[in-house]
Amino acid sequence: MEFENKVIDEAIQGTAIELTNQGGDGKKKLYLESYGCQMNFSDSEVVASILAQDGYETTRNMDEADVILLNTCSIRENAEQRVRNRLTEFKIKKENNPELVVGILGCMAERLKKNLLEEEKLVDLVAGPDAYRDLPNLIEEVGTGQKAVNVLLSRDETYADISPVRLDQGGIAAFVTIMRGCDNMCSFCVVPFTRGRERSRDPHTIVQECQDLFARGYREVTLLGQNVDSYRWNLSSKGEVKNPEEETTNFAQLMEMVALVSPELRVRFSTSHPKDMTDDVLEVMAKYENICPYIHLPVQSGNTDVLYRMNRGYSREWYLERIDAIKRIVPDCAISTDVITGFCGETEAEHEDTLSLMDIVEYDFAYMFKYSERPKTLAERRFDDDVPEEVKGRRLNEIIDKQLAHSLKSNKKQIGTIQKVLIEGPSKRSEEHLCGRTGRNSMVVFPKGTYQKAQYVMVRIDDCTSATLMGEVVSVC
């Protein structure tokens, strides 16, 4: 279904990104493609950094590559299918160039382990999300004619000391990983199996990275984690202080430390979990103008029984209370969500509860998916994937239609207001226009004038679609 794919593509950053960081000649060349969530894109920057130290430079041209790596996603069946198709293309390439090393990284590597090497013979190298430091050795092993694999998950790897090679072309907004893994065990989700136990990164290295980014001209950081609200430095999973010499840091405190790097540095974060999102995080957001008033708070379903089957750890009422807290403490905060339709046993009435919750919250934006059963998850073991495909699709369409109406309503409310926009660069559709985001994360397009990327400007909003605001600059900040 065309529209569903579009929505999913946005959510998993669908199209493969070719990374650009070319340098001089004579170096070994790495071609890296990333699929899936922001965490994967951020990991690819760590991979590029590790391999840069081993003499590799990245290339956009896969024909000149010595090594091709795909950083992959397992979250839904269709994400994996796209990677398999891509690997089949690379297999043909390899037949013409036997020296070429093709490797798979990330969640699919972790999930399928040796299968891709041995049964399907699609790749030479498999490295899971905690094994990237081993990549130079693994590539060397392949060079000696062996198949190389490292899918060990770690309890403490955070790549804290690695300075990621920034691979985006914009150079304005960067993702900074603050924690890895996930301990939540939502019953639909493969992530705990592919990314292992939750662990937080040393806050000093995070602040240092943000300071470096700011000094290099970046004006926005997004603090990334599977569940940022459970960020804890210096506390063990049992709640004991690990190092009495050092203070403990929670997410609210970390965000404050990052906000203090500079008032000119915007701070965003993703993803929050409704069961863990505390008022102190909201209070820090309200206190600092440079922490963007935008929260991604995945609901998944608006029905308490479905949430229980999903093992989400909250009820419909709890979730709505958290929404009230956001609206109370951070007025005018934009809120987005994730919704899954057709989860195991979802009845028509339960689906209606999701629609009614959407009417109450009126999300500014949503990522919406049909449930896709994933091997080894709690849901696969406990429940039947019993909602027929066409019912999942119909419910998804109802949810998408509702969201489009809410997004349009939310954007229309912005018409006539003046918004602070960080300029990201030329608009994709017109050379005469620039684009940038508001703190609420809405994309704004406006005539380019003499304004520059990375500048903050005040834009009067004159018009909108459900996806974009249009306006004109009224002053420079």
Residues 73, 112, 122, 189: which binds ligand 5AD (CB under 6 A)? 189
Rule CB under 6 A: which of 333-362 touch ligand 5AD? Answer: 338, 340
Q: Residue 268 pairs with which residues in a beta bridge? A: 222
Q: Does the protein bind ligand SF4 through residue 191 (CB under 6 A)?
A: yes
- Residues contacting ligand SF4: total by CB under 6 A: 13
Q: Does 83 bind ligand SF4 (CB under 6 A)?
A: no
Cis peptide before 271 (omega within 30 of 0): yes
301 binds ligand 5AD (CB under 6 A): no
Are 177 and 203 contacting, i.e. CB atoms less than 8 angstroms apart?
no
Q: Which of residues 62-81 bind ligand 5AD (CB under 6 A)?
A: 75-76
DSSP E strands in 163-275: the ranges are 173-177, 179-180, 199-200, 220-224, 232-233, 249-250, 266-270
Of 105 and 284, CB closest to ligand SF4:
105
Burial of 191 (0-12, 13-18, 19+ CB in 10 A): buried
Q: In 3D, which of 191, 193, 210, 192 has the Cα closest to residue 201?
A: 210
CB of 437 to ligand 5AD, least distance (A): 21
CB 311 within 8 A of CB 378: yes
Q: Which x/- pattern over 61-80 shows residues binding ligand SF4 (rule: CB under 6 A)?
A: ------------xxx-----
According to the binding rule CB under 6 A, does residue 42 interact with ligand 5AD?
A: no
**Shorter beta-carbon distance to ligand 5AD: residue 339 or 421:** 339
334 within 8 A of 296, measured Cβ to Cβ: no
Residue 371 binding: pick among ligand SF4, ligand 5AD, none (C-beta 5-8 Å cut-off by kind): ligand 5AD
- 241 bridge partner residues: 235
**Least distance in angstroms from the C-beta of 38 to ligand SF4:** 8
Could you tell which of ligand SF4, ligand 5AD, none binds residue 76, using a CB distance below 5 to 8 A set by kind?
ligand 5AD
Q: Does 42 bind ligand SF4 (CB under 6 A)?
A: no
36 touching ligand SF4, by CB under 6 A: yes
Interface pick for ligand SF4 out of 21, 40, 42, 410 (rule CB under 6 A):
40
State the helix-helix crossing angle for 316-329 and 348-361, rounded to 10 degrees.
10
Instruction: In whole angstroms, give the CA distance from residue 72 to residue 109.
Output: 7
Residue nearest to ligand SF4 (CB): 36
What does the radius of gyration of the chain's CA atoms come to, in whole angstroms?
A: 22
Q: Which of 195, 219, 273, 448 binds ligand SF4 (CB under 6 A)?
A: 195
From the list 29, 273, 351, 374, which residue makes contact with ligand 5AD (rule: CB under 6 A)?
A: 374
The one-letter amino acid code at 239 reads G
| CB nearer ligand SF4, residue 187 or residue 438 | 187
CB of 428 to ligand SF4, least distance (A): 24
Residue 392 in contact with ligand 5AD, rule: CB under 6 A: no
Angle at 129 between CA 151 and CA 21, to 5 degrees: 125
Within 143-188, strands assigned E span 148-150, 173-177, 179-180
**Residue 391 token pair:** 């019912």
Beta-sheet pairing, 125-127 with 148-150: parallel
234 contacts ligand SF4 (rule: CB under 6 A): no
Q: How far is the CB of 27 from ligand 5AD (least distance, A)?
A: 36
| Helical (H) or strand (E) element with 4 | helix 2-11
The CA distance from 387 to 38, in Å, is: 30
106 binds ligand SF4 (CB under 6 A): yes
Nearer to ligand SF4, 190 or 469 (CB): 190
Residue 36 binds which of ligand 5AD, ligand SF4, none (CB < 5-8 A, kind-dependent): ligand SF4
Q: Write the Ramachandran bin of 425: left for phi over 0, alpha for psi from -120 to 50, otherwise beta.
A: left
Listed in sequence order, the DSSP H helices in 57-215 are: 77-96, 106-112, 115-118, 135-143, 191-195, 203-215
- Binding stretches for ligand 5AD (CB under 6 A): 75-76, 188-189, 298, 300, 338, 340, 369, 371-372, 374
- Binding stretches for ligand SF4 (CB under 6 A): 36-37, 39-40, 73-75, 106-107, 190-191, 194-195
